[in-house]
Amino acid sequence: MTVISTGDRMTAYGSAGFAVPPTAGSGTRGEGTKNVTTWGLVIERTVGVGERKHTEAHVVAHITGLREEALAELERRARSHSPEHPRSPKRRRLLRQNDGFLLVIDGAWQSFVTRFTVAELLEDSDAPAVPEPVAEAPTVPHAAPAEPVEQQVERYPDGVPVRPAWLGRDDLP
């Protein structure tokens, strides 16, 4: 199982290290074989107050593997989840459901609910492209790097460099 989570952009990687297109039927279905599927871990929470209260859902990760593995990862996330509200929780309850978990946290004035669900990914209009395998270039032994020459850096009386070390570097964005 491989999980790649980067906010709203997730990528699932197979055992060969290549991106797996998250579509249904990505595994083999048949007798004697295990079905390898991509699962989405979804968190739903109620946000806002009064008339502006509404539910928001976010896919926090994708899991390639068995449903039990996805549920185990979802449970780990549900147990460690710390929502913004309530600020002073009085009671915390984690309940198991068929496809996930329900976290109920009682605050001083009201309860806050977060639903954790595992769902099979059937289609993704913005799925990452499968990268082409890259042939390994022959390795050429490199000469041992020369000892770095200690440069004299101009410093202020308190020891702070006048010119920051990162200034003028080409490898920084």
Comparing 11-25, 89-103, 124-138, the range with the smallest average pLDDT is 11-25
Name the average pLDDT for the chain.
Answer: 76
Rounded CA separation 124/129 (Å):
11
pLDDT at 30: 40
Going from N- to C-terminal start, the domains of the chain cover 2-120
pTM of the model: 0.55
Residue 146 pLDDT: 64
pLDDT in tens, 53-109: 888 999 999 999 999 999 999 999 999 988 877 778 899 999 999 889 999 999 888
d(CA 128, CA 6): 13
Residue 9 vs residue 111, higher pLDDT: 111
ω into residue 86 within 30 of 0, thus cis? Answer: yes
Helices (H), 17-88: 67-80
- Top-confidence residue, 12 or 138: 138
Which comes out higher in pLDDT, residue 165 or 17?
165
How large is the average pLDDT for residues 128-155? 70
Q: In sequence order, what are the beta bridge partners of 46?
A: 55
